[in-house]
Structure 1
């Protein structure tokens, strides 16, 4: 991921999200089984939140918190496309602000201070690991 790219560098990705929204909205299925879009966003959309010294709320946030990288800004814009589609067209959406899904592209290793290694390292001390649904 190149964090020096600008928002306009991600135009095709944002348009891709819009195209998926348009496709989902063409569904003629009954409301209860219509398509749902699950968007893999990023914690980059809230990178400016740390200055507030409180937990990031699970809601729409101002764009100022995504400023700084085109990547974070593009994810914020894509979130807005989905929020609009959900609010005005009834599209079912979920937005997941994910930090990191895997280790290094080169060797697969995680930095030992990242979240997953920390959870695994805490297992022996706590004598438990988290369960996932």
Structure 2
């Protein structure tokens, strides 16, 4: 998770997707759902960078909905504030519309905060 947080905060959204997907494939239950939401959020911002309006909106919304099922801090990640900022990005992109979303202020993209790396549950085989 620490690597994914660093990559996300550097704006390397495709790489976040790759790192988290490798973990997601091995996980089950709630961890899997959280990872899927974070993957979708990263992919949404990747689509934004590639001028894919529909893909950006769709994945930001789906990812936020999945990741929003967890508490304020989940698996060491500060979720509430992060997801509020993802929603603000979504709202801004949607308001700009397909013809003007390239004017989205990318400084709005939130940073992820890993508050407690030890809170991430270890898999039994580790």
* The two structures share one fold, judged by TM-score above 0.5: no
- Bigger fraction of residues in strand: 1
Greater relative contact order structure (CA < 8 Å, 6+ sep) = 1
* TM-score, reference length from structure 2: 0.27
* TM-score, reference length from structure 1: 0.26
Which structure has the bigger radius of gyration? 1
